[in-house]
Structures are given as C-alpha cells and as structure tokens.
Amino acid sequence: MKHVVVTGASGDLGTAVVARALASGAEVLAQFHTRAPALSHDALSTVQLDLTRDEGPAELRKALPWESVDLLVNCIGGARPVPYAELDTAAWRDSMQLNVEVPFAVTRELIAPLAAAAGAVVNLSSVAAFTGGAFGPHYAAGKAAVVGLTRSAARELGEQGIRVNCVAPGPVASAMTDSLPEAVLAGLLATTALRRVVTPEEVADTVFALGAATGVTGQTLVVDGGRFLH
C-alpha cells in the first residue's frame, strides 16, 4: 500500500494505525481535530479538520497529496458512557454524527481516489454493536450502524474495485477503556477468553490484514480477545 488516509489519527487506535502504516513503508495523511498525532515521520502528513462540519469531508479530499488512495481507515468515533435513562437527544445525535455520518461522508468523498487504486476501506466499529456494551445505547447503536454501512458500501462500491470491511474491537487498552469503572471492566474481562484487553497494535495489525485481503469485502472481524464468540 502506497497511500493511506487515517481519520481520528490522534486517538489510541488511530495512532497505532498510523504507526503501522508508516512501518509498512506507506505515505500517510492523518486527520485530527484538536490534538495532533504524537508521531513524526518524513512520510507523514497531517491535516487539522473538524469532520463533523458539513464541509469537513470535502476539505479532507482537497488536502490529499495524491491522486489515488490505497487504504482509508475510518478510526474516528467514540462516546462517553451514559446510562439509557440519562441519555438526552443531543448526546444521541452527536454520537450518530461522529460514529456513522462522518465515516459515510468521508468514504463518499474519497470514492474516486479509492477507485483509482482499486483500494480498500476499513471502518472501525465495536463489539458493542453486537453486545450492547457498557458505553450506552448511543454508542452501541452507532457502531451497529457502521456494520450496516460497511455491508452496503461493499455491495455498491465493489463494481469500482473498492473493498469495504470493518473491524470491531472489544475492550482495548485506551482512554475509553480507562474511563470505565473498575467493576465494569473487571466484569468484561471475566467473560473474555484471553482475560485481558487487546492492544491498539493488535487492532492495527487486523486493520492492515483486511486492507491487504484482496478477496474479502463486506465483512466485520471482531478483535476482542475472545469475549464475543460467534
């Protein structure tokens, strides 16, 4: 892969994906909003954009330093844990916008450069899409929608040679996991086969494995240490 775009590149998963791409020898365009990626490399370009703005995805397209994109990784996403009864409409809509609308809009903007390289898209969902999770209905519903978005995009964009897959991490060593109450995290790990959280690097390796799997599209691969076995 020569050219890789990563959204949400300053988060724990985004940072690991960028590092993995650079280690493979790719040139990387890393999008961030408020906090720049903690990486420096001659092959790394960064762009500061708020992708929740209507103009954001188009601005990302204009910032591309190449005509083609081999891999787009939609790492952007997240939510604060909120119980169902305390979740207001604004928080629900914010989660849907960040977790679903932004990956949709970014992928739409990059169809032409992805098609030029017969490239791939990997969306980041979550095992919460299947289990409900501990972060609340706004997060689980948003990440479930990412799985549906992945399947729909794979069907439609396949005729242009674009593959679209999804990685659904379970508890990952990250700021989001650190925000969970200790009792909640302990309960999650008690039902995990490996009895540990996965690392961002393990998720990044899976992202690149899917990105390179030329015969695979429309699939969601769970990376959770064996918590959700299906």
Respond yes or no: is residue 139 known to be catalytic: yes
Among the options 92, 130, 135, 139, which is catalytic?
Answer: 139
Cα dihedral across residues 61, 34, 145, 226: positive or negative: positive
Would you place residue 230 in the very low, low, confident or very high pLDDT band (cuts 50, 70, 90)?
low
Give the model confidence (pLDDT) of 47-66 as tens digits.
999 999 999 999 999 999 99
Strand order in the sheet with 44-48: 44-48, 27-32, 3-7, 71-74, 120-124, 163-169, 220-223
pLDDT score recorded for residue 183: 86
* pLDDT exceeds 90 at position 115: yes
pLDDT score recorded for residue 49: 96
In 3D space, the residue among 97, 14, 114 whose CA is nearest the CA of residue 50 turns out to be 97
- Give the separation between CA 75 and CA 24, rounded to whole angstroms: 18
- Give the separation between CA 210 and CA 41, rounded to whole angstroms: 24
Give the model confidence (pLDDT) of 117-131 as tens digits.
999 999 999 999 998
- Give the separation between CA 213 and CA 210, rounded to whole angstroms: 5
* pLDDT exceeds 90 at position 35: no
Cβ contact 72:117 at 8 Å: no
Give the model confidence (pLDDT) of 84-104 as tens digits.
999 999 999 999 999 999 999
pTM, entire model: 0.93
- Give the separation between CA 208 and CA 22, rounded to whole angstroms: 12
Q: Minimum mean pLDDT among 72-81, 109-118, 205-214: which range?
A: 72-81
* pLDDT exceeds 80 at position 179: no
Q: Which ranges of the chain does DSSP label H, i.e. alpha helix?
A: 12-23, 56-62, 89-96, 102-109, 111-116, 128-131, 137-157, 175-178, 182-190, 200-212
State the distance between the two ends of the chain, measured CA to CA, in whole angstroms: 31
* pLDDT exceeds 70 at position 210: yes
Average pLDDT over residues 199-214: 96
Average pLDDT over residues 189-217: 93
- Give the separation between CA 86 and CA 103, rounded to whole angstroms: 27
> What does the H/E/C string look like for 165-207?
EEEEECCECCHHHHCCCHHHHHHHHHCCCCCCCECHHHHHHHH
- Give the separation between CA 136 and CA 113, rounded to whole angstroms: 36
pLDDT score recorded for residue 204: 97
Share of residues in the chain with pLDDT > 90 (%): 77
Would you place residue 176 in the very low, low, confident or very high pLDDT band (cuts 50, 70, 90)?
low
Share of residues in the chain with pLDDT > 70 (%): 99
Average pLDDT taken over every residue of the chain: 93
Give the Cα-Cα-Cα angle 13, 15, 50 (nearest 5 degrees): 90
In 3D space, the residue among 168, 64, 161, 155 whose CA is nearest the CA of residue 122 turns out to be 168
Specify the fold of 3-223.
Rossmann fold (3.40.50)
* Domain residue ranges in the chain: 3-223
